[in-house]
Amino acid sequence: MTQQVKDVMTAGATTVRPEASLTEVAQLMRDQDIGDVVVARGDTVVGLITDRDITVRAVADGADPLALSVGSVCTADPVVIGPHDPAEHAVTLMRQHAVRRLPVVEDGRPVGLVSLGDLARERDPGSVLAEIGEARPDR
């Protein structure tokens, strides 16, 4: 049987509204020990923001993280995948769109994220990428 996205994804996507400040989302990332957050308006995914987005697209340019909204920095309209899609399809989408993570959406609602690390752990558990994905982030 073909492995599905739901078998490898990280369930329970953390979401933030586009109007939230970068400081709010950075604190959320810190408190939940995560590096990416789905940007949603209601139940609709409208973007994806990572800790790297905050650093490269805002802080590095001297922007005020209290004044800048998540919606102005996030990747808008991200490529999404369903939980019942084959995991191989996630690999294909990541290659085609040069992304490392995909929001997982069911019935229009975010239900998780699948990352390159998730797929590496499942497909090649002895790989360096899988080991990095398993490691706790430095604090």
SS3 of 17-80: CCCCEHHHHHHHHHHHCCCEEEEEECCEEEEEEEHHHHHHHCHHHCCCCCCCEHHHCCEECCCC
pLDDT at 125 over 60: no
* Fold (CATH) for 5-134: CBS-domain (3.10.580)
Reported pTM: 0.84
Domain positions in the chain are 5-134
**What tokens were used for 2?**
């073909």
SS3 98: coil
| Interval 81-93: pLDDT, tens | 999 999 999 999 9
Over the stretch 47-75, which tens digit does the pLDDT of each residue have? 999 999 999 999 998 989 889 999 999 99
The pLDDT of residue 136 is 55
